[in-house]
Structure 1
């Protein structure tokens, strides 16, 4: 390290110490939330008498896989749901959400998202009429969305006007995705459920819960949501699950989603677990603690960047309901340097330099820092950004707080090295 670079790092570390004192009360609250969620998971394990033999797995059809069956029961209890479907056979969060939506909807039904345009990778799942891809719209399911208001709130007048006789499923994306808005808290989702069912009681409410699990002490399925889905390589996998997803909620709707994952009449009764059970169970056990570590890292990142004059969302002292920390830049160059700096801080593939590229499922070039043990594992420290105005980077995850802190300092020093920002001695 050059002498000048060493000086910059020392200055950043001094600032980091003051930031940690500044955010200490928030850290204590996050530790409490992690503790309560950990107790909830342990009690679910105890209730269903999880034992070593549940980790054995199965082959072939996977009939009578008791470990798989108990895993579903544990997840259902943890998330306050009637039933759950937890499988390594879900290839991604998008695949999991797709199975949930196809399970809930039939030709002639309408899906209405009330939280604006959903995450980019769902656009192809929704599709266009007659697109020939087997999308929802190709199968005769209509789609509509209600943009959020300027302050990020649901536009209830527009929602009421948009609900039609054919509207069957209300879609809610808990996380901000690639939007500069607050993510929705469980309390806010609870209010959404009440309001849409007051308009039309038979409506079904679906929540994309990605990045949200264990960030609060309650989950959307505990406040009236009919079906919810998420990815195991995000929060609930605890950094150990190597693939997979979960769906939980109403027993009838979970069964319908299972028919989409496998086949009608087979559903969740088959599916060899092929040695994945131990990691999925243990990952769930660790998840509340690791989510807490990632949240503390996000709070630190927000406070550190705010100290340097950047705009962050959420701010360091705002309520947290998902892992994502957004930071706004004025141009593409500092955004790219930030993401590349996060990669430089990785334990895996730190030597790789990410560049923007046309990633399948995205509408703009995307740059992703992903120095992770699990490919795409966004409970691990990662960052990504579409290269479009406004230039916003989205950082998430971190298996340990120390790694997130190191990543933030490395990203800042990378920006200094490229003369994109100047760190003054009086930063502290």
Structure 2
């Protein structure tokens, strides 16, 4: 039989074979996790009696949308929270985060980030970057954060002083994923420690989790350990590449009601919001999420191992704990970063003939190079890569609907970047 890698140089073929053997046990662990999470999701579909009629969409105001209400109960059950808000009207994870924070914070309150400066689009929401209308700064909502230690971990000593000194801190935010930083993403175990730390010092503060890229990446979630409110995107992990748009919030009932009032209108809240043509995708996407998320993570493990064998600086390492989809590769120079990113575009299902060009994007301060030949625009559960054109020239690779696609694309990118 002709092998898919026959066209590669013998050296690369040998590296791929060695990587396959090395990572086999890690991939098996991820398969076991997918089985565990899939069983949990299936049990919830059974518990809530999901049926064909739940897939019927609503229009207009969206009153009495039975399928929408049942889906939100399933989300709340899965994340072990009091309530959930799952809507196509939230256009992205950033929109869900902005909605949640604006629903809680009032003029004079302080938003505090325990995990360092948040990533670019949230900086724009706060008003510390860009010059946009409607930011938190415009509403006199204060912002502070504690920089992370050199090893990328939380500086608890400094954070304790800040939390005790600022009586106006109303929301303590934790960002699970690394964003455009080179630090490791935080595991749920680490986040659980952060939650315990905050609740001991200021028990009345709202602990908010930006969980984008994190759902189903572990067998546990931050809300299991007392987080009050958490946001995620439906065209990332929780939608399995099936959902075309939308986002979700899960958390305490009063906070979910507040977020719904902020998104729609006071007095209306969760009662309105038509689901149009989304319900079948929402249900099917959530059902497939445990499997698809693990497919993407298995691809990240392969990516880390192969690029590590090429002498590249990768994070996380192939055998490190996984808590989200993101795999970082540091190129130290712009040229190979751009070339590798272009290769991923060229081995995508959509727009494979396109050459990505670094350019400015809404919500970002630097030029960004991005490869995303996805069926849904911006669907980072599908294979994509992006990164800002600034030192250390780190490319963030994430997603993959199938392990096979990631393996083919990354292997070809390594061949064309390093062997040609």
Q: Are positions 1:60 and 2:63 aligned together?
A: no
Q: Which residue of 2 aligns with 1:288?
A: 290
Q: Which residue of 2 aligns with 1:352?
A: 354
Q: Which residue of 1 aligns with 2:409?
A: 407
Q: Are positions 1:388 and 2:387 aligned together?
A: no
- The correspondence of residues 14-413 of structure 1 with structure 2, limited to 5 A, is 14-127=14-127, 133-163=133-163, 164-413=166-415
Compared CA separation, residues 281 and 141, structure 1 to 2 (3 A): same
1:188-214 CA distances to partner (integer Å, 9 max, x unpaired)?
A: 111101111111111111000000000
Contact 2:124 2:132 in 1 (8 A): no
Q: Distance in 2 between matches of 1:344 and 1:221?
A: 39
Deviation at 1:107, TM superposition (A): 1.6
Deviation at 1:400, TM superposition (A): 0.1
Contact 2:84 2:256 in 1 (8 A): yes
3-state SS of 1:8 partner? coil
Deviation at 1:12, TM superposition (A): 2.7
Deviation at 1:132, TM superposition (A): 7.1
3-state SS of 1:180 partner? coil
Compared CA separation, residues 179 and 128, structure 1 to 2 (3 A): closer
Deviation at 1:10, TM superposition (A): 5.2
Q: Distance in 2 between matches of 1:391 and 1:330?
A: 5
Q: Distance in 1 between matches of 2:340 and 2:237?
A: 23
Q: Distance in 2 between matches of 1:391 and 1:198?
A: 39
Q: Distance in 2 between matches of 1:9 and 1:283?
A: 39
Contact 1:344 1:410 in 2 (8 A): no
Q: Distance in 2 between matches of 1:347 and 1:167?
A: 46
Q: Distance in 1 between matches of 2:171 and 2:284?
A: 34
Size of the aligned set, in residue pairs, is: 413
Gaps of 5+ in 2: none
Deviation at 1:92, TM superposition (A): 1.0
Deviation at 1:11, TM superposition (A): 4.0
Compared CA separation, residues 128 and 391, structure 1 to 2 (3 A): closer
Larger CA deviation: 157-166 vs 92-101: 157-166
TM-score by length of 1: 0.94
Q: Distance in 2 between matches of 1:260 and 1:414?
A: 49
Q: Distance in 2 between matches of 1:243 and 1:161?
A: 40
Q: Distance in 2 between matches of 1:103 and 1:45?
A: 31
Consecutive aligned runs of 4 or more in structure 1 exceeding 3 Å deviation: 5-11
Contact 1:9 1:409 in 2 (8 A): no
Q: Distance in 2 between matches of 1:21 and 1:118?
A: 38
Contact 2:177 2:212 in 1 (8 A): yes
1:222-254 CA distances to partner (integer Å, 9 max, x unpaired)?
A: 111000001001000011000000000101101
1:60-115 CA distances to partner (integer Å, 9 max, x unpaired)?
A: 00000001101110111111111000011111111111001111212221100011
3-state SS of 1:171 partner? strand
Q: Distance in 2 between matches of 1:314 and 1:55?
A: 39
Gaps of 5+ in 1: 420-428
3-state SS of 2:376 partner? coil
Contact 1:132 1:138 in 2 (8 A): no
Compared CA separation, residues 299 and 371, structure 1 to 2 (3 A): same
Q: Distance in 1 between matches of 2:52 and 2:394?
A: 45
Q: Distance in 2 between matches of 1:290 and 1:11?
A: 31
1:34-65 CA distances to partner (integer Å, 9 max, x unpaired)?
A: 11111111111111111010000111000000
Deviation at 1:331, TM superposition (A): 0.8
Contact 2:297 2:325 in 1 (8 A): yes
Q: Distance in 1 between matches of 2:60 and 2:219?
A: 38
3-state SS of 2:387 partner? strand
3-state SS of 1:413 partner? helix
Q: Distance in 1 between matches of 2:232 and 2:389?
A: 26
Contact 2:6 2:13 in 1 (8 A): no
Q: Distance in 1 between matches of 2:11 and 2:70?
A: 51
Deviation at 1:6, TM superposition (A): 6.5
3-state SS of 1:138 partner? helix
Contact 1:55 1:275 in 2 (8 A): no
